[in-house]
Amino acid sequence: MTEIPSPKALFTRSGRGLAATALASLALVACGSEQAGTASVRAGSSTPSPTPSSDVAFTAMLDRVARPCPAPGPVEKHPGDAAAPAPTSGPEVELNARDWCASALHEERITRAVWELADPTPEKVGKVLNDLGYVDGRIHGLRQSGAATTFALDLRDKGGRLCLDGSVDGERTMVTACVAPRTGPFAVAK
């Protein structure tokens, strides 16, 4: 899980805080924004069908993000720490090494991209996700839930089961790995 407090929690409204926030914003914009060429998901609209070009761009983005990760392969059982029992379910057990590695990379890039949204509406969060290369057909459950905007991403690729759950509320951003069904339609966990 990646969680980063908003800049409001990190800086005061002094000139120094604003300058640091501006520099951080520029640095974040410079590293990781990618255009996918798709329209963002809007609250209340239906999800458009993916186009072949958006599928190719999405798959290429997934490959770029997971470049430093191991090749896709079977899920390997890892021995647990003797001091703590090994998990028996969840992402640690059910994701292969490539998906587990890629989950941390996706979590970080999404968290960094949305953490400064002052009013993280579904429209704004959807636009940020689209700008990062996540296509509408893989963004699910993008909605307002209280003060937070929540979403899920279907990142299944090459036999993997990776998905991400996200929540952005202007104060905190949380993006965590989850496990999607191996095949079939993607369902947002409640």
pLDDT tens digits, residue range 164-176? 999 999 889 999 9
**Backbone dihedral region for residue 158 (phi beyond 0: left; psi -120 to 50: alpha; all else: beta):** left
The reported pLDDT for the residue numbered 94 is 84
Whole-prediction pTM: 0.67
Q: How many residues comprise the chain?
A: 190
User: Which candidate, 145, 142, 164, places its Cα nearest to that of 1?
Assistant: 164
What's the pLDDT tens digit per position in 28-67?
A: 333 333 333 333 333 333 344 556 667 899 999 999 999 9
d(CA 29, CA 175): 19
Torsion of CA 99, 94, 130, 107, to 10 degrees: -70
Token duo for residue 123: 């429209």
Strand partners, 3: 174
- Please measure the distance between the N-terminal and C-terminal CA atoms of the chain and give it in whole angstroms: 18
| Residues in contact with 44: Cβ distance below 8 Å, sequence separation at least 6, in sequence order | none
Element (H, E) at 15: helix 15-30
The reported pLDDT for the residue numbered 72 is 77
136 phi/psi in degrees, rounded to 5: -55, -40
What's the pLDDT tens digit per position in 101-129?
A: 999 999 999 999 998 888 899 999 999 99
Element (H, E) at 158: none
With beta carbons less than 8 A apart as the criterion, state whether 47 and 137 touch.
yes
